[in-house]
Structure 1
Amino acid sequence: MEAVFATLVGLFFAAAIYLMLSKFSIRIMLGIAILGNAVNLLLFTAGRVTREVPPIIPAGADTLNADAANPLPQALILTAIVISFSFLAFLLVLTYRAYQDLKTDNTGKMRIAEPEERPVPPLGY
């Protein structure tokens, strides 16, 4: 089973790198999302894919049983999901604002595009 997941991780990384090398910001964002999923699957695979009991310490014991699942990859994946979601939301807003001002999602044209003039609102202190 680990060989299937390792192949899938490789495909995810290849697709993510291909999309991130694009000149369109939407494809770059999709590549970053796929890269986050590839890292999560890599952590999941590295933590051994087995059918073990949940990592809960039974009543009256001080440590986990020997046949318990490893809780570290689970905690790392949960943290990575939250961070990648917040980073993707930030990139989505950043890309949308860039598209509103520059009228393009092509990063090559963004360098030479002039933002449209907007009146600067006064600071209301």
Structure 2
Amino acid sequence: MADRLTQLQDAVDQLGTQFVASIHFVNNRHDLQKLSQKDIIREKDETKQDPIEVNPLPPDEFKAGQRELAQDLILKEQQIEFLISVLPGLENSEKDQEEMIKQLEADLKVAEEQRKQALKDKAEILTTLEGVIRQIIRP
């Protein structure tokens, strides 16, 4: 499982991708309409001599697609808000965080002493075991 900051970065990247996909959908699936009497709907792009890449959907399907994309964007935004809310340190002051770090350092020192003692015990046990093995006589 990735750490919270990596999850947050991934979610922000996904949100950007969703924005681009939403714009692409609206740009390519809208219905060609005139906004004023002077507007002209071109059948071909005059500079490229290619047909305009708009494949309009029926109005109900287009609205349903927009609604689904909007819901996905809202869900991703809520996920980002949640990830931000669970980041450590938002509810703690700088002094509280310093005290927490000092406590963790003290705990780490205790754990290191325990580790050193365990290594000494291991060495003593290995020495004892070697002595016992050497004393065993084969019949």
- TM-score for both structures, normalised by structure 1: 0.39
Higher helix proportion (structure 1 or 2)? 2
Structure with the bigger RCO (C-alpha within 8 Å, sep 6+) is: 2
Q: Bigger radius of gyration, 1 or 2?
A: 2
